[in-house]
Amino acid sequence: MTKKKKAALAVSAILIIAVLSLWLFGIPYMNRHMKTVEFSYSEKAPKETIGWNGKKPLVVYFTRVGNTDFEPDVDAVSGASLMIVDGELTGSNRFLADMVTDMIGCESAAITLTGGHYPSSYDDTIDAAGEELRARARPAIEPIDVSPYDQIILIYPLWWNSIPMPVATFLEQNDFGGKTIYLFATQGSSGFGRTVSEIEELAPGAKIVRGTSIYCEDIPDAQQELTELIRSWSRQ
Ligand SMILES: Cc1cc2nc3c(=O)[nH]c(=O)nc-3n(C[C@H](O)[C@H](O)[C@H](O)COP(=O)(O)O)c2cc1C
């Protein structure tokens, strides 16, 4: 075989490997992380309310939307893991919080940064969150007082297999002794990651109840799963 033919074969092999890798890893990655999901709340909204035994819980959630300086055309530009509900940019975790709040008929509170926001780009947010995690940062947030509640439903995304650092700020700012914290996580592949043990450590004295961790793409259709869990908790 001539040198030219060998070189052509090597280039073809590299191209085939590159295309196969993109197909195997790139497309599922983009599907998970770069997809914009658009729907109307009324299509997905809970069809029934669930009576909660005793004092109702507080739903507390964290989402990128509201804590990020999105460019006005972010959905068109990056489409990075965004949810648009009734034409409005809505965090996946905010949508889950709305569903749970509507099911129980309870109050909710968003963990909201008071200082700098995360960058519009998904990749830059990944970097910023990684730095915060390494530095064990506690970004400043608007205070949320959980003292009137016995039970909290905490809804958060996985960031680097961990809780986002603003969620750590919220946990450290409150005394959860004797309270129950029910967990809902959202993610692109990692289940609960390290988050349950992190929350146990940051909320000493609380009873932590692992609910479910929902894969991004399944969030709009999570109603049945949410209903079953909340019904089981409502009777405790
Ligand atoms: C900074 C950052 C880090 C992330 N890290 C993980 C991760 O470690 N594991 C995972 O499965 N998903 C990860 N994701 C995906 C998010 O959990 C997912 O996009 C989330 O459900 C989006 O919620 P939101 O739209 O309410 O912000 C990460 C997303 C971001 C922005």
Contact indicator for 184, 215 with CB cutoff of 8 Å:
no
Q: What are phi and psi of 70, to 5 degrees?
A: -70, 140
Specify the pLDDT at position 76.
Answer: 46
Pocket of ligand 1 (CB under 6 A): 63-64, 81, 83, 91-93, 125-126, 129, 157-161, 186-190, 216
Specify the pLDDT at position 12.
Answer: 87
Specify the pLDDT at position 24.
Answer: 63
Instruction: Give distance in angstroms: CA of 48 to centre of ligand 1.
Output: 29
CA atoms 84, 90, 93, 95: torsion sign: negative
Instruction: Give distance in angstroms: CA of 174 to centre of ligand 1.
Output: 24
Entry pTM? 0.87
Specify the pLDDT at position 35.
Answer: 66
Instruction: Give distance in angstroms: CA of 218 to centre of ligand 1.
Output: 14
Ligand 1 pocket test: pick from 36, 125, 187, 198 the residue with the most ligand atoms within 8 Å of its Cβ.
187
Q: How far apart are CA 44 and CA 229, in angstroms?
A: 17
Specify the pLDDT at position 199.
Answer: 98
Instruction: Give distance in angstroms: CA of 19 to centre of ligand 1.
Output: 26
Instruction: Give distance in angstroms: CA of 119 to centre of ligand 1.
Output: 14
Specify the pLDDT at position 34.
Answer: 57
What one-letter code names the amino acid at 220? P
- Atom in ligand 1 nearest the alpha carbon of residue 160: 8
pLDDT in tens, the chain (236 residues): 788 888 888 888 888 888 777 766 655 555 555 567 888 888 888 888 899 999 999 999 999 999 998 887 665 444 446 788 888 888 899 999 999 999 999 999 999 999 999 998 888 999 999 999 999 999 999 999 999 999 999 999 999 999 999 999 999 999 999 999 999 999 988 899 999 999 999 999 999 999 999 998 888 899 999 999 999 999 87
> Quick one: which of 158, 118, 116, 159 has its CA closest to 140?
116
